[in-house]
Amino acid sequence: MKKLALIAMAVLLLASCATPRLYYWGSNSSLNDDTSAYEEILYNNYDKQTPESLCALVCLYEDMVSHPGGTRNVVPPGIYAEYGYLLLQPATADAFLNHATAKQRKLFKSSDFGTFFPEHGVEMLQKEIELYPESEKFIKPLLERIKGKKS
């Protein structure tokens, strides 16, 4: 009986060690460790930015906002803002237009990336404010500058 109680306690202790992820950070990394795809792709893009790494980052963000997961089942804080800001950069649409694979292009409902990306970027910034109202202090001035440039 003592052995059974000891085994049960050990199983409970080990079972409680696995922490559930609050958010979905992309599929598993190609690295064989605890790194998420978000960490790997973001690092690769900032380490040696290439048009291909930028396309991979755009697709990762689109996956994260399209398929939120984790225990909260919402997009992680700051992801809408990061993604929106990235889409607003003119170089992003150019890189995607010229270097994205056919599979990557299928993720988006438009092939006119020069128009679609800025509009989608503004939408992502607005969603960041909706989901995380505390971000409005930082994002609202950015949105006002964008609207000022369009006028």
Q: How far apart are CA 142 and CA 74, in angstroms?
A: 23
Could you give the 3-state DSSP secondary structure of residue 36? strand
Per-residue pLDDT of 43-69, as tens digits, reads 988 899 999 999 999 999 999 999 998
Distances from the Cα of 71 to the Cαs of 10, 15, 24, 75, 81, in angstroms? 25, 17, 9, 11, 21
pLDDT per residue, tens digit, the chain (151 aa), is: 767 666 766 665 555 555 677 888 887 766 666 788 888 999 988 899 999 999 999 999 999 999 998 899 999 999 999 999 999 998 999 999 999 999 999 999 888 999 999 999 999 999 999 999 999 999 999 999 988 876 5
Q: Which residues are registered as beta bridge partners of 36? A: 28
Output the pLDDT for position 13: 58
Output the pLDDT for position 61: 96
Output the pLDDT for position 148: 82
